Structure formats: C-alpha cells, structure tokens
Structure 1
Amino acid sequence: MKEISCKLLVIGAGPGGYVCAIRAGQLGIDTVIVEAGKPGGTCLNVGCIPSKAMIHAAEEFEKVAHMASGSSPLGISVAAPVLDLGKTVAWKDGIVNRLTGGVAGLLKKAKVKTVYGWATFRDGKTVAVETETGTQIIRAETVVIATGSATVELPFLPFGGSVISSTEALALGEVPEKLAVAGGGYIGLELGMAFAKMGAAVTVVEALPRVLAQYDAELTRPVVKRLAQLGVEVMLGAKAKGVKGDALLVETADGKSTKIAADKILVTVGRKPVTEGWGLDQIDLDMAGKFIKIDDQCRSSMRGIYAIGDVTGEPMLAHRAMAQGEMVAEIVAGHKRSWDKRSIPAVCFTDPELVTAGLTPEEAKALGEIKIGQFPFAANGRAMTKLGEDGFVRVVARADNHLVLGIQAVGQGVSELAAAFGLALEMGARLEDIAGTIHAHPTQGEGFQEAALKALGHALHV
C-alpha cells in the first residue's frame, strides 16, 4: 500500500478544486489533487461547456433554416440545411478534450500531483484512493472537499432507456423526433430550446405555475414568448408521474392524467451535492441540510477541512466554486482572505439569455425605498442590427444614496454583460458612476448606461 504526504489535499478536480490546486501550487504549497474522472468536473465535461457548444450549434442551424424558409429579413436565402448531430457532438467533444487537457497541463505547470481514483476518508487527515494500480494512502495537513454535485434522479423516472439526464442529452447520435422535458428550470429550457431549434417537437412539463421560477416574471417574459415561437409546448402546474412505453405519464394542473409521446424523456429537476461514497461518516462535519456547512472562509466544522463549490450549497455555479477555491488556497498560504458573495452573477443561456447580479427588485424593496431604471433593447441600435430587440436592462438602486443593489437583463447575447454587472456591484457603484461612464457605441452595453440614466430620471434614448 503506497503512502504520500502533502500540505494540501484537494478532493475533486472540478472548477473549484482545480483552481484551488493551481493557485496553491503557484503559492509554493505542496499540493495533491484527487479526481475520479477527468479534470474539469461536471462543468467542463458534461455541463457548462458542452451544453453551450450544443446551444451554439442549434442557434446556427436555426439561422440557416430560417434563411432557407425565405422569411429572413436580411435578404439571405440558402438551400434547406441538414444537421449531422454526430458530427456536432464530435466537435463538442473536441472542445471538451482540449480544455480538460489544458486543465491537466495547468496543474502540472503548478507542480500539483494528480491522483486519479475515488477518495474515501479514513480520518480528518487521511484518505484512501482506489486507483487503477491499487490503493493510494494520502495524508495531508489541510483538506479541501470539492466533490461537486450530481443530477437528481426521480424514483418514478429512473435513468435508462428513453429516460435521460443532461449528460446523455449532450451525447445523442441523432435529434429525437419528440422530446419531453421534465423540469422547466434553466437546464431544461436551455436544452429544450436547443433541440427545438434542431427540429425536435419539444414538450416541457413544469410543476410550478411558470417556468424559470427563480427569476421574476417580467424578466422571463421574452423567453416564454420565444418558446411559443419555437413551437415548444409548455405544460404548467403539471407533474411527471412515470413512463409507459414511448410516453411520459403526466398529471395535469386540473388533476387529469395524460400521456406525452416521446422518443426521449429528459429529466432536469435539479442537482444534489455529492456527499455520499467518500467517507463522510468517518469525519464529523456539521451540515446545513444536505450541504456541508461553511463559514465566510469556507472552513467546515472540523479544523483543517475546507469545503467549496456545489457541495456547500446554492448558488451551484462554477464561478462561485472557482472564487472559493482561489480564496482557500490563499488562506492556506497564510493570506488574509474572506468570502465576499455580494455579487455572484448568474446566467441562463436560453433564447434570449438572462443575467442577474445582486438583489432582485423584490429583495431590494425589503431593505427600504429604491429606484429602478429599465431600458428596452427595442431602443438600442446594436440590438436592432442583430434582430435582438426583445429584452431590456434593469438597474435597482437605493433611493437615498443611489447605491446599486442589483442588475438584471434579458436579451440576445446579454451573458457578455455579466462582467460589467458584477464589477459595478463589487466596486460599490452608484447610479451616477454607471451613467457617467462612457459606453462604446453601438453596443448593447449602452443599455446599462441608459438604465442608470432612467433611474436618475433622464434617459436619453427612450
């Protein structure tokens, strides 16, 4: 039985884990990282990156199909397009492989030792890793748990056969003729809209009164409109109950039972932290529900054990995990750091895209009187030239001192505005700061400035 010792052991090489390990290596800390699969975790291998590749391919296919229909206002006409989904998936896999190889290279560059296998705690300082060549014992002064999350499986819709998770959806060899999506959250709608653009007849089943319930109704209205344009049927207040043959069994909002014919049933009802299988029972960690409880430095209840990323709770976002991982590495190196979660932008890659950062209008109102400025992309020149006029930018600020509390946007390509929104909140910007910043013309970013001007009472272009 082999044994190695290190100062820092990171369990999990997802976005949080690998960033933590790389930063620790840069700081001269003797670091080992353990990963059961490929570097990059869910996000890089079967989540964020591959899904965005497929979404982009679907967008490009729909553009060409729209031109082929002769209804494009751009004056462009082409022959009817044909989609080779196998080739698309191969392209997507190529991107993933380049990025996972890049992560492995960065770990090596930072002099981090990578051990591939499944780690199990023996005590708070020791883990046993089952590798291809046998059991590897690793002893560490400090341990970081970055085990991530996994897809929630419904007991009455177990994965297998026609019932698939997002992982299988991103590896299909052909576009299903009929796709049923159980769950109208961001994953279900991102993939559901993509497959609708590729030619599938899509039905979304959502138990709540509306889709994308984590966002306010005004923000999601353009997405709901686009779903209808794509021919996606949305069943609200409906519950998936099981599968029978080639159909999804559903209980409708009025309590009736019905069947939805489907070649594939995509289940996207959320994700859960991976807290089983790695010896949680061998250590004594306080939990916050199903998540590991942490403080503002990502310390767990056990000295010398930190936890980062999805295993520590919402929001389950890769960039949150990365920020936590970098911070923990610096704390281990002796730097003074704490976890500032004032602004963690969230992006939904539907059509159109959604971005939120900071407080919603409802959350801000609970703190006192506020000002809201909203600017429509219908009045933005760049949005018009991209046929992306449906949407807006909204800024929420305190009424007394104009401190910006939250920013939201919906529109074509607004994911790229997330950095500006996050920076404004992180720097403590006031409405006057945003309004007084010269924004390049013609860009959609001008909508941000105009929203701030609107909140101040003097928008220029609406």
Structure 2
Amino acid sequence: MKEISCKLLVVGAGPGGYVCAIRAGQLGVDTVIVEAGKPGGTCLNVGCIPSKALIHAAQEFEKAGHWAARSDVLGIGVENPSLDFAATIAWKDGIVSRLNSGIAGLLKKAKVKYVQGWATFRDGKTVSVETETGEQVIRAETVVIATGSAPVELPFLPFGGPVVSSTEALALRQVPQHLAVVGGGYIGLELGIAFAKLGARVTVVEALARVLPQYDAELVRPVTKRLSALGIEVLTGAKAKGLSAKGDALLVETSDGRDKRIAADRVLVTVGRKPVTAGWGLDQIDLDMAGRFIRIDEQCRTSMRGIYAIGDVTGEPMLAHRAMAQGEMVAEIVAGQRRSWDKRAVPAVCFTDPEIVSVGLSPDEAKALGETRIGIFPFSANGRAMTMQGEDGFVRVVARADNHLVLGIQAVGQGVSELSAAFSLALEMGARLEDIAGTIHAHPTQSEAFAEAALKALGHALHI
C-alpha cells in the first residue's frame, strides 16, 4: 500500500476540480487530484462539449437538407445530403480526446499529481484510492470535494436497454428512428432538437404545463415555434408511465387522462441531475447538508474545518462555469489569498434552436423588488440577424425604474450564447441603462440589439 501526503487534495477532476487544482499548482500549493474517469468530468466527456458538437453537426446537416429543398432562397444548391453518423461521432470523440489531453497537460504544467481511481474518505484528512496497481492512501491538509452530479433515474424507467440518459444518448452509434424524450428541460430539448435534425422522429413528454419551465414564456415562445417547424411532437401536462411489454414504445398518460402509446426505439430520460454524494465515504466525515447537497458558505467551506466543496455537489445552478469560478476561488483561499463568492450573476445558456441566454433577474423577479423599466428589441429589426436568417427572437433588458441599475438581461435567438459574456459583464460592473446605451456596439452585429434594448427601456430606441 502506497501513501502520499500533500497540502491540497482535490476529489474529482471535472470543471471545478481541475481548475481548482491547476490554480493551486500555479500558486505553488502541493496538490494532488483524484479522478475515477477521464479528466474533464461530465461536462467535457459526456455533457457540455460532446452535446454541443452533436448539436453543431445536426445544425449543419439540417441546413444542407434545407438548401437541397429550397435552393432558390440564397441561390445555393445542395444535392442529396447524406449523414455518416459514425464519422460524426468519431469527430465528436476526437474533440473530447484533444481536450482530455489538454487538461492533463495543464495539470502536469502546474505540477499537480494526477491519481486515477475511486477515492473513499477514511476521515476528513485521508482518502484511500483504488487504482489499477492497488490501494493508495493520500493524506492532505486541505480537501476539496468536487464529485459533480449524475442523471436522475426514474424507478419506472430505469436506465438500460432502450432507456438512456444523456450520457448514453451522446454515445449512440446510429440515429434512432423514433426518440421519446421524457423531460422538456434544457437537456431534453437540446438533444431532442439535435436528433430531430439528424432524422429522428422525436416526441417530448413534459409533466408541467410547458417546456423549459425555468425560463419565462416570452423567451420560450420562439423555441416552441421551432419545435413545431422541426416536426417535434410536444406533450405537456403528460406523465410517462413506463415501457410497453415489448420495450418498443413509451406509455404515457396525457393531460386529459387518456393513455397514449409512443413508438420509440430509444427513450431519453432527462428529468434532472442529482449530486454525487454516495460511494465515496460521506458518512465518514459527517458534513452538514442542505437537502441533497453539501452545505457551503460564501467561501465554499463546509461544516468541517479544512474541507471545501464546489460545483454540482453544492447545489444550483449546476453549471460548469459556476464550478470553475468556485474552484479558482478556493485554490486562492488555500494559497492564503482573501477571496469570497460575490458574483452578481451566473449566466445560463440553453443551446436549443434558437438559443436562450439569461443573466440576473427575470422581469417577474425584478418587479417583486420594486418598479422596473424593461426594454425589448426584436432581431427582426436587426440587420445582421436578417443576413443570418435569424430574425426570430429578441434581447431584453430589465432595470430599476429609479436609478436605471440593470438587474437582468435575457435573449433568445440564433447564436445568442455568444452575447452571454457581454450580458454578464454588464451586471458584474454594475451597469446602468445609460452605460449600455452609451457604449458603441459594432455595426452590423447582433450585439446592437443589446444597446437598442437599453435605449428602448430609456424610452428612445432608434431602430424600432
């Protein structure tokens, strides 16, 4: 049995964990990171990156088919577009592999020791790791828990066979003929739209009254319009009940109480994610919990001295960039710097078609705090959006009525994920409507809609 000691031990090499370890190494902290799988965690290996690769490939394939059918629109003719899905998956896997290697190289550059295996806590300072060469014990002065999250499994639709989570969906070797998606949140719709563009017949089953319930109806409307255009059937107020006896269909109870059978060679269950708090010895360190999550303070400290927790295991929002920011902060605290979590907003992006971005407060959340000014500028009045055939959508700015402090910014439209940095920066810098409106935005770009929305809130939009 091998034993090593270190200043900092990071358990989990997902976005939060590897960023924490790299930053700690840069600051001269003797750091060890343990990961059971490949570096990058869910986001890189079976989440953010591979899903966006699949979404992009699906978009390009759908676009090719669109021009084949309507070459008169732009004068572009494409004949008989075809899909080699195996090649698509190989391309996606190649991107993941390159990024895996990149993270491993960055850890090495920062002088972080990487241990592959499953870590189990013995106490608050010690873990044992089952590696390929046997058990290794690691003792650390400080520990960071970054164990992430996993898909929620439904008892009546257990994963296996035709029932898959997002993890298996991203590893399919052929496009399903019929795909039933249980759960109309962002994961379900992102993948459902992608597979519909690749040729699958897709049905979405959502128990609530509408899809994407975490976003307001105004933002979701262009997405539901696109779902219809893609031929995706959406059943809201419906409850999945299980598989048919032959396993070739999903059984559903519709909103009016009728039973419905949905043909499906694959059933994708996307009803949420849960923190990974089992299997690594949480009972040995007895941390305070906040429901299913590990309770932390504004510095990501847990209830036990010398133990921090970051990322999905600590609660919502379960976003990679939140975990990364927390990991960087914790590394600097361990190195002796003064830091705390004082973020004004964490941006959320839904990579549907069209995309949705939300930063800060929604209109309803802002109105609950007092009077507001809201400005909306449609992409149908934006020249660049027109040239991209992306007129469906808008940018919305929400601000206080008295001093015009911006409280929230949202957008829906083609490629609006790339506006998320500008939106976040505005909130982090404490921008007012006049700051945004007075900033020169390049023409012709979709970002002009941001300035125009601020002008609209001030009462004098120029282009609408």
Secondary structure of the corresponding residue to residue 298 of structure 2: coil
Pairing partner for 1:448 from 447, 450, 458: 450
Give the equivalent residue in structure 2 for 1:304. Answer: 306
Give the equivalent residue in structure 1 for 2:168. Answer: 168
Cα distance in 2, alignment partners of residues 328 and 73 from structure 1:
53
How much is the aligned-residue C-alpha RMSD, in angstroms? 0.6
Secondary structure of the corresponding residue to residue 160 of structure 1: coil
Letter in 1 for 2:444: P
Letter in 1 for 2:335: A
Letter in 2 for 1:32: V
Deviations 1:385-434 (A, max 9, x none): 00000000000000000000000000000000000000000000000000
Cα distance in 2, alignment partners of residues 44 and 177 from structure 1:
27
Secondary structure of the corresponding residue to residue 203 of structure 1: strand
| Residues 71, 78 of structure 2: 8 Å contact kept | no
CA shift at 1:341, angstroms?
A: 3.1
Cα distance in 2, alignment partners of residues 454 and 418 from structure 1:
20
Give the equivalent residue in structure 2 for 1:30. Answer: 30
Whether 1:324 aligns to 2:330 is: no
| Residues 186, 350 of structure 1: 8 Å contact kept | yes
Pairing partner for 2:364 from 362, 365, 368: 362
Give the equivalent residue in structure 1 for 2:287. Answer: 285
Alignment of 1:179-194 (within 5 A): 179-194=179-194
Deviations 1:143-185 (A, max 9, x none): 0000000011111101111111111111111111111000000
Pairing partner for 1:352 from 351, 354, 360: 354
CA shift at 1:455, angstroms?
A: 0.3
CA shift at 1:379, angstroms?
A: 0.2
Letter in 2 for 1:261: A
Cα distance in 2, alignment partners of residues 78 and 296 from structure 1:
55
| Residues 128, 135 of structure 1: 8 Å contact kept | yes
Secondary structure of the corresponding residue to residue 128 of structure 2: strand
Letter in 2 for 1:227: L
Deviations 1:92-139 (A, max 9, x none): 000000001000000000000000000000000000000000110000
Give the equivalent residue in structure 2 for 1:439. Answer: 441
Cα distance in 2, alignment partners of residues 260 and 341 from structure 1:
44
Give the equivalent residue in structure 2 for 1:94. Answer: 94
Cα distance in 1, alignment partners of residues 343 and 85 from structure 2:
40
Deviations 1:196-216 (A, max 9, x none): 111111000000000000000
Give the equivalent residue in structure 2 for 1:62. Answer: 62
CA shift at 1:43, angstroms?
A: 0.1
Letter in 1 for 2:228: A
CA shift at 1:70, angstroms?
A: 2.5
Letter in 2 for 1:269: V
Cα distance in 1, alignment partners of residues 286 and 78 from structure 2:
64
| Residues 343, 428 of structure 2: 8 Å contact kept | no
Cα distance in 2, alignment partners of residues 225 and 96 from structure 1:
32
Give the TM-score normalised by structure 1: 0.99
| Residues 85, 172 of structure 1: 8 Å contact kept | no
Secondary structure of the corresponding residue to residue 65 of structure 1: helix
Cα distance in 2, alignment partners of residues 312 and 345 from structure 1:
17
| Residues 86, 172 of structure 1: 8 Å contact kept | no
| Residues 250, 267 of structure 2: 8 Å contact kept | yes
Give the equivalent residue in structure 2 for 1:421. Answer: 423
CA shift at 1:304, angstroms?
A: 0.3
Cα distance in 1, alignment partners of residues 344 and 129 from structure 2:
37
CA shift at 1:456, angstroms?
A: 0.4
Give the TM-score normalised by structure 2: 0.99
Secondary structure of the corresponding residue to residue 320 of structure 1: helix
Letter in 2 for 1:293: R
Cα distance in 1, alignment partners of residues 390 and 243 from structure 2:
39
Cα distance in 2, alignment partners of residues 143 and 353 from structure 1:
38
Cα distance in 2, alignment partners of residues 149 and 73 from structure 1:
45
Letter in 1 for 2:388: K
Letter in 2 for 1:323: A
Give the equivalent residue in structure 2 for 1:113. Answer: 113
| Residues 311, 326 of structure 2: 8 Å contact kept | yes
Letter in 2 for 1:90: A
Alignment of 1:181-330 (within 5 A): 181-244=181-244, 245=246, 246-330=248-332
| Residues 376, 392 of structure 1: 8 Å contact kept | yes
Letter in 1 for 2:46: V
Distance 1:72 1:402, change over 3 A: farther
* Percent of residue pairs bearing the same amino acid type: 82
| Residues 66, 72 of structure 1: 8 Å contact kept | no
Uncovered stretches (5+) of structure 2, i.e. residues with no partner: none
Runs of 4+ in 1 over 6 A off after TM superposition: none
Alignment of 1:1-16 (within 5 A): 1-16=1-16
Deviations 1:221-274 (A, max 9, x none): 000000000000000000111001200010111112111000111111110000
Cα distance in 1, alignment partners of residues 132 and 455 from structure 2:
61
Letter in 1 for 2:88: T
Pairing partner for 2:373 from 371, 374, 380: 371
Whether 1:153 aligns to 2:130 is: no
Cα distance in 1, alignment partners of residues 126 and 229 from structure 2:
56
Secondary structure of the corresponding residue to residue 6 of structure 1: strand
Distance 1:238 1:71, change over 3 A: farther
Cα distance in 1, alignment partners of residues 403 and 366 from structure 2:
14
| Residues 37, 117 of structure 2: 8 Å contact kept | yes
Letter in 2 for 1:109: K
Pairing partner for 1:411 from 410, 413, 422: 413
| Residues 184, 206 of structure 2: 8 Å contact kept | yes
Letter in 1 for 2:19: V
Cα distance in 2, alignment partners of residues 100 and 66 from structure 1:
35
Cα distance in 1, alignment partners of residues 72 and 46 from structure 2:
34
Deviations 1:264-308 (A, max 9, x none): 111111100000000000012000000000000000000000000
| Residues 358, 425 of structure 1: 8 Å contact kept | yes
- State how many pairs are aligned: 462
Secondary structure of the corresponding residue to residue 129 of structure 1: strand
Secondary structure of the corresponding residue to residue 194 of structure 2: helix
Whether 1:134 aligns to 2:134 is: yes
